[in-house]
Structure 1
Amino acid sequence: MKTFLSSLLRSALAAACLIGGVAHAQDGPQTNLPRVKIGAGMYLIETQVALTPEQRQIGLMFRKEMPQGEGMLFVFEQPSQQCFWMKNTLLPLTAAFVEDDGTIANMADMAPQTLDSHCSTKPVRYVLEMNQGWFAKKGIKAGSKLTGRPFDAK
């Protein structure tokens, strides 16, 4: 897992250097994030990966749409209680709070453009945001397991 995270972090830092870093006064969606495919049961999810504090802070802000089957995976350095809000986020989303092994600890539906806090019920390293309703339509809930490189046991 450390190799995967190191590789993604290097890619993110290289991209940031090429585009001049992340602007502090963000007024549009961030682009050029690293991507990784993860599995949720029989479904494949194409995720953008937010690794740095700046990338995680901006998240999916200012996006007007996101294709079904795509999401954003937030990766933290170590497991802890993670809390999310929807400031400047235009899309209704569901956050899945995910343990190191890919098990979804809990989920939260989040309304656009609110400062309501949505937190994990236990320490987690990952949060996967998807369009609201995607998980429910696929029968994916707390206790379900995600698969792929971020969650592979090393």
Structure 2
Amino acid sequence: MCKGLSSLPSSCLEKAKEMRVKLSHLADAHHKHKVHDGKVFQDMETLLSTKSGLQVFRGFLRSEFSEENLEFWLACEEYRVSPSKTKASSIYGQFINPDAPQEVNLDAETRESLLAVMDSLCADTFDKAQQRIYSLMAKDSFPRFLRSAHCMEAIKSF
């Protein structure tokens, strides 16, 4: 016979309640973030793969004074497709150099490793740095974006 929920330890019941609340929030977020073409602002990859998503996210980052992260990520994408010494120098000068006008937040190790390979460039030269910035946006900026007026307005306009 089933003893019911009362036979479970209270810690299990609390965990179950927490999971139910989290799942409820995820379901609500999923429904709130649908756009006209069936896509959802549910992950960075989807957001960055659409022109409209990119535009809205850029506007949000601009409002938070962190647009340089997206600009760096986009410059790295362009570099990967068409690598050149000129583009690499431009990316380094614009985003990596400690005095760069749009300096991105990279750890010293990543910054130093980039400086070390600037003489022997290849298509994946900026991959590690780009991934760090992508992770930063995905963990920090993107969740705030989903809760922002920018996102809500974009969803309403679609």
Tell me if both proteins adopt one fold, taking TM over 0.5 as the criterion: no
When normalised by structure 1's length, the TM-score is: 0.29
Query: Which one has a bigger Cα radius of gyration?
Result: 2
* Higher normalized helix content (fraction of residues): 2
When normalised by structure 2's length, the TM-score is: 0.29
